[in-house]
Amino acid sequence: MPVNDPIVAEQTPAADFTIDQKWDRYTSEEHAIWTTLYERQMEVLKGRAAPEHFKGLELLNLNEGGIPDFRRVNEKLEKLTGWTVVTVPGLIPERDFYEHLANRRFVSGRFIRDGEKLDYLPEPDIFHDVFGHVPLLTQPVFADYMQAYGRGGLRSLEFDAIKHMARLYWYTVEFGLINTPEGRRIYGAGIVSSKAESIFSLEARSPNRIHFDLERIMRTDYRYDDFQQTYFVIDSYDELMEATYEDFAPIYARLPGMDELKPSDTVEGDRIYTRGTQEYARAGGLPAKAEAL
C-alpha cells in the first residue's frame, strides 16, 4: 500500500480487494501531476504509440485534464466493450487479479507518483494503470484478449504455471510492440507510460526485437527493474487472441524439460527484427534503480 495516500489507508478493502476511488479527495497538486505526465507523454508518443492507443484516449476523454473519475470513464468504457476500471489499494494476489480480468474488470491503483520524481515508481500508479492500460480496452479484440488472459491465468493455477503466465503479460500487455503500416509502434502500457522507455524500446540499438512466440515468451525471464533487453513484436491484436485461445496444458507439460532463457538471449527459430548489442545492460543499466521507468 502506498505510504503517502491517506485516502487508501483509511479504507478497508472489500473481499475482492476493491476500494472507492474517492475522486473528489484528490488534491490540485495531484491533478497537476497527471496533467504534466499526460502532456509530456503525448509529445513523446507521437509517431511511436499504436494508433489504437490515441483512439482510446479520445473515446474515453482522458485528455480532459486532471486525474480521471472512474465513474465517468466506466460509463463510456462499459458501453464500448463491457469493461470497467476498479480501484485497489496496490498489488493484489494473483488469483484475485485474474478473477477481475476474467470478469472484464481492470484493476488500478489510486495513488499518483511524487511530482518531484516523475520517472520513479515504487509500484504502478494511476497514471501507468489508466493512461497506459485502459485506452486499449476500448478496442474489442484487445479487450477480449485481456479477458481470455484472465481466464488463462486462473487455469494456470491448476498447473503451478503462474510464472509463465506472468511472462506472457509482461512481454505483451506491459512491454509489447506491434507492426503497423506506418512502422513499428508501442502498445505495451509499461512503455507508453514511460518517457525514457518509449524512446529506448523503438530506437536504441541495445535491445533485441523478436517476433511474438507464445512458448518462447513463457520460457523467457524479464527485467522488472530496468529497461527490457528483449521486446516481442506482434503483427496484430488478433495474433494475440488466437494464441491465447490455445490450450496451454501441452505447453506447461513441455516447459519443465526446456532451458529457461535469459532476457538477452536469442535462440534458433527466433524471427529477429533487431539483434541487440546489449550495450546498455552491459554498462550497468540505470544509474539508480528504476529511475526512468
Q: Which of 230, 23, 233, 225 is nearest to 110 (CA)?
A: 23
Residue 211 annotated as binding site? no
In-domain check, residue 289:
no
In-domain check, residue 19:
yes
Give the pLDDT of residue 1.
45
DSSP states of 87-98: EESS---HHHHH
Return the CATH number at 24. 1.10.800.10
Q: Which domain holds residue 56?
A: 14-282
Residue 164 annotated as binding site? no
In-domain check, residue 190:
yes
In-domain check, residue 62:
yes
Give the pLDDT of residue 120.
67
Give the pLDDT of residue 136.
98
The tens place of each residue's pLDDT in the chain, 293 residues long, gives 454 689 999 999 999 999 999 999 999 999 999 999 999 999 999 999 999 999 999 999 998 889 999 999 999 999 999 999 999 999 999 999 999 999 999 999 999 998 888 876 778 899 999 999 999 999 999 999 999 999 999 999 999 999 999 999 999 999 999 999 999 999 999 999 999 999 999 999 999 999 999 999 999 999 988 999 999 999 999 999 999 888 899 999 999 999 999 999 999 999 999 999 999 999 988 753 333 33
Give the pLDDT of residue 121.
73
Residue corresponding to grid cell 494456470: 156
Side chain identity at residue 293, one-letter code: L
Written as nine digits, the cell of 137 is: 480496452
Give the pLDDT of residue 179.
98
Helix axes 195-203, 28-44, angle to 10 degrees: 20
Cα–Cα distance measured from residue 44 to residue 193, given in angstroms and rounded to the nearest whole number: 10
Q: Which of 123, 149, 146, 115 is nearest to 133 (CA)?
A: 146
Question: pTM for this structure?
Answer: 0.94
In-domain check, residue 3:
no
Cα–Cα distance measured from residue 178 to residue 212, given in angstroms and rounded to the nearest whole number: 9
The total domain count for the chain is 1
Written as nine digits, the cell of 110 is: 489510486
Cα–Cα distance measured from residue 106 to residue 126, given in angstroms and rounded to the nearest whole number: 12
Could you count the other beta carbons within 10 Å of the beta carbon of residue 29?
9
Residue 158 annotated as binding site? no
Q: Which of 64, 74, 63, 60 is nearest to 41 (CA)?
A: 63
C-alpha R_g of the chain: 18
Cα–Cα distance measured from residue 209 to residue 196, given in angstroms and rounded to the nearest whole number: 17
